[in-house]
Amino acid sequence: MRHSHTVQRRRTIQRSLRRLKHRIKRLVTSYVSPLGWAVAALAVASLVAFVLLGWHELLAMAVVFAVMLAAAVMLSLGNTSFQATIDVSSRRVTVSDTVKVDVCVDNPGRTPTTSARGDLPIGDNHERFAIPMLAAGQSRQTTVEFTAVSRAVLPIGPLSIRKGDPFGLIRHEKKLVDQTNVFIHPQTVLLNALNAGIPRDLEGQPSGEIVDDDLDFYGLREYEPGDDVRNVHWLSSAKTGSLMIRQYEATRRTDTALTISVNPDDYIDSQEFELAVSVHASIGVQCLQQNRPVTAHAGSTHAIPRNATEFLDGCSGIDPDIDDNPNLAQTTLEHAPDASFYFFTVGRLKTIDDIKHMVLALPRSATCVVLQAATGQPRAIKRYSDFTLATVGDLNDLPMIMGVLA
């Protein structure tokens, strides 16, 4: 019995030692920087060389390196139990807008904290600021401002605090706040109501499908249990002596498919690409504000935005893709085969032959408009048998062009 207790106690001690070893290893590997490991290696090497060669200079070097490591450890100690919050003035802005980020760091504990440094990534840049010693319950607020230079989905954070020595031998990093995204929307222009397609929407485009409720009257049939009595045609029912139900031919709504070419080979430069994104975004916003169903296509991304804000968020993330299918209609029809309107936005390097070949696959009943971004070129509209080609040299040309097309 006593032997079993001894064995159990020995196993418990062994497990505790393994945990302690694992914690020390994790602590050392996470706190000691590569430079710190190099200094430690030099200290050991200098000491070994002194033992072998007896040079007192090597002993002095070993002592200096050891003192540096000891000082680094002492300077890295301290309470870093901070809490923090990030408040962004607006998570959705437009190019050239100013964004303000308020960072609040506080000490929720009962003991003072040590001084540290904060690190806030903003896109590819890092904003670094000092965090002083905070008493219990004390807080410190730092404000960072930047201008939205270009359209993007800009990650802000995660916010982390760093504590270490001036030599960079010992490091202590702790994440306080997760990453948040700021959507920098493209520039857009206000368009008048897109009236093209409204008569089709009201009168209905026959689909061949017979339903009980729509706009296009088709005929009558006898009443069946479960039919809505509101569809009873009472005059015919009185003549035939039995209830007669109205039938209709299903009609289609004015669905709009918006597709933009993201192949950089279609554009002369990045400025023309951004013009195309702004044209694409302006038309989509107007359609959604008119409550028109929209499917948006950009490269391999296909979405059905519910509102203008969601659509603009998607436009913020449009990036050039050299592998984009040059036949935009092919990928669009895979996701929007029954749209009544197709808008394609391309660059000036997209040839007219490629455009003609592209629109051949579209439904004959649909309307197709190709908007060609050409920075600095005069606005123009040219009508072909299967589509209309509009040249947009400046974003401010778009309202007039869409007004003519309407």
The model's pLDDT over 123-134, given as tens digits with 9 standing for 90+, comes to: 888 888 888 888
| Residues in the chain where the model's pLDDT stays below 50 | 23-30, 196-216, 250
Nearest by Cα to 390 from 332, 339, 337, 350: 350
Q: Which residues contact 201 (CB under 8 A, 6 or more apart)?
A: 253, 254, 340
**Token reading at 325:** 């299918």
**C-alpha to C-alpha distances, 296 to 115, 225, 313, nearest whole angstrom:** 50, 42, 12
- Indicate the helix (H) or strand (E) that contains 318: none
- The alpha carbon of residue 121 and the mean position of all alpha carbons in its chain are separated, in whole angstroms, by 16
Spatial contact of 246 and 217, defined as CB atoms under 8 Å apart: yes
pLDDT at 118: 87
pLDDT at 78: 65
Instruction: Confirm whether pTM is higher than 0.85.
Output: no
**Phi first, then psi: what are they for 233, rounded to 5°?**
-95, 100
**Token reading at 374:** 């050409």
- Can you tell me the distance from the alpha carbon of 311 to that of 151, in angstroms, rounded to the nearest whole number? 14
pLDDT at 20: 56
pLDDT at 28: 47
pLDDT at 185: 96
- Indicate the helix (H) or strand (E) that contains 358: helix 352-359
pLDDT at 5: 61
pLDDT at 236: 82
**Rounded mean pLDDT of the chain?**
83
- Pairing status of strand 341-347 against strand 301-303: unpaired
- The alpha carbon of residue 205 and the mean position of all alpha carbons in its chain are separated, in whole angstroms, by 37
pLDDT at 27: 46
- The alpha carbon of residue 59 and the mean position of all alpha carbons in its chain are separated, in whole angstroms, by 57
Q: Is the peptide bond before 158 cis (omega within 30 degrees of 0)?
A: yes
- Can you tell me the distance from the alpha carbon of 97 to that of 147, in angstroms, rounded to the nearest whole number? 6
pLDDT at 226: 76
Nearest by Cα to 27 from 73, 65, 70: 73
Nearest by Cα to 367 from 292, 316, 301: 292
Dihedral sign from CA coordinates of 279, 285, 288, 290: negative
pLDDT at 309: 95
- Can you tell me the distance from the alpha carbon of 335 to that of 75, in angstroms, rounded to the nearest whole number? 60
pLDDT at 218: 57
DSSP state of 196: T
pLDDT at 8: 74
Spatial contact of 343 and 389, defined as CB atoms under 8 Å apart: no
